[in-house]
Amino acid sequence: MVSTTGSLWFPWTFHFDRFMDSKALLHFPKPPFRIDQSLATSPPPGPAVATYLEQIRAWRSAVLQFLNTIKLGAALDTHGLSTRAQLALATFLEINWPEEMSRYAVHCPYNISAFPARALERAGTPNLEDVMEVLRWRAAVVDYLGDIWDVMGDPFLDFNECGAIGQFLYPACAKNVCSFCLTEIATLLFARSYPGQMACAASKLPALGCGGERADRSREHLDGCAN
């Protein structure tokens, strides 16, 4: 699994199968259509968009239910999903943030935000832009988790905690995909030889190390894929 930073490889020590039978629901669903330039000229049919949005809603509900009902204490701590990691994940999944969290997000260089509320609405015509907003939200969280642990002093979340949270944000089969847009990596041989230059198949921007410390790199990457 590739990371947004080029050097980070999360140690996936947290295993869903030890805690919940329906573990597949806890993994972020992979888009059933490619996130590339063809979306502008040949968007996926409405039923495909509607089905994917429903999968996203089911995933979010399953993760929140997991956090609300599974009480394993130290067992979860051992695998990185500490109390503060659980709280952080639940906060990312909320659609409304308190003022303090909103202020933090404004000054945070990772473009993080509350979960897009419109994606939870079932009324009206399924909207591809709602899908893209969720993917931008997810990419920003992944970007945040890729760096937030690497600070001087005590981090807000440590390496293992970021890894445990991150596992919820990837599809069950997520090898060789771009961390931002979940598109398959174009050339695996090239990627293994030059990991710092790895690029996804769709985007004009590289999947790793894309543009240094830009605050909008995850959003720009996804928009580069779709335009």
- pLDDT tens sequence across 63-101: 999 888 765 544 455 457 888 899 999 999 999 999 999
Q: Mean of the pLDDT values across residues 40-61?
A: 93
Alpha-carbon distance 12 to 167, whole Å? 7
Domain membership of residue 11 (yes or no) is no
Find out whether 181 and 39 touch, Cβ atoms under 8 Å: no
Domain membership of residue 149 (yes or no) is yes
Domain span at residue 147? Answer: 16-226
pLDDT confidence of residue 132: 93
Domain membership of residue 10 (yes or no) is no
Domain membership of residue 9 (yes or no) is no
Alpha-carbon distance 226 to 55, whole Å? 21
Q: Which is more confident, 118 or 16? A: 118
Q: How confident is the model at residue 25 (pLDDT cuts 50, 70, 90)?
A: confident
Find out whether 195 and 175 touch, Cβ atoms under 8 Å: no
pLDDT at 199 over 60: no
Alpha-carbon distance 4 to 183, whole Å? 13
pTM (two decimals): 0.76
What is the Cβ-side half-sphere exposure of residue 153, based on CA atoms within 13 angstroms? 1
Q: What is the CA radius of gyration of the chain?
A: 17
Domain membership of residue 110 (yes or no) is yes
Domain membership of residue 84 (yes or no) is yes
Domain membership of residue 199 (yes or no) is yes
- Single-letter amino acid code for the residue at 180: F
